[in-house]
Amino acid sequence: MKRYLSVAFLSALCAWAQPAQGQQIADGVCPTAVPAIRAMAALKDTSDPVKAADVVAPVVAAYKACAQLALSDGAIEPAAHYDEIRAAQYLVVLGRQLLKQQKYDEAHSVFADARKLSGDIADWLPSSRNNTGMSHSQYRDSAIEVAKAADIELAKLVPTATPTP
């Protein structure tokens, strides 16, 4: 079964969708991210970019930590790629919050990090050592979408040239 984390997921993150009553927040691949995700879901005032960034940053950190652990265990596909694509998705959300705060350098760094993580997954080809029988990561399509989202946000940060008279 192919897993696909779409742009719709990014939109849902940006909308700060609350879980339905009684629905549990869970992540079987990176359970250490769950408390941070719960804190993000509990944020009531989503219009404040400072508060929003403060709750998204720990989610990014949790997924990056899970990715490092998965990589140290040699679990590139699917575990590390899952964790990295989740981190990249939340990095785009974090960058958008930093952009709203007019923290342009920080936003640029975060979007560039999201672009690198997602680009690495999109370009990944299994070696004979960790061949999964697939020609690319199962998260390749999602990685391409996240890379596009990061590129769009990075383009917003590029100063426009002023024509000289």
The whole-angstrom separation of Cα 143 and Cα 130 is 19
Q: What average pLDDT does the chain have?
A: 80
What pTM does this model have?
0.79
Quote the CA–CA distance of 165 and 143 in Å, as a whole number.
43
For residue 1, is it within any domain? no
- Report pLDDT for 135: 75
Question: Looking at the 3D structure of the chain, how many domains does it have?
Answer: 1
65-94 pLDDT, tens digit each: 999 988 888 887 888 889 999 999 999 999
pLDDT higher than 50, residue 13: no
| pLDDT tops 50 at residue 109 | yes
Q: Is 162 a domain residue?
A: no
Burial 146-160 (b: 16+ CB within 10 A, else e): bbebbeebbeeeeee
Summarised one tens digit per residue, pLDDT across range 15-61 is 444 454 445 888 888 999 999 999 998 888 888 999 999 999 999 99
CA distances from 131 to 15, 28, 62, 75, 140 (A): 37, 23, 27, 11, 15
User: Is 21 inside a domain boundary?
Assistant: no
C-beta separation of 36 from 59 below 8 A: yes
20 assigned to some structural domain = no
Is 19 inside any structural domain?
no
Residues 47, 38: Cα–Cα separation, whole Å: 18
Answer whether residue 22 is part of any domain.
no
pLDDT the model gives residue 128: 55
Spatial contact of 121 and 137, defined as CB atoms under 8 Å apart: yes
pLDDT score, position 21: 47
Instruction: Assess if residue 121 is contained within a domain.
Output: yes
Across 27-36, 98-107, 131-140, 142-151, least confident range = 131-140
Q: Which range of residues forms the domain containing residue 77?
A: 7-13+27-157
Report yes or no on 71 lying in a domain: yes
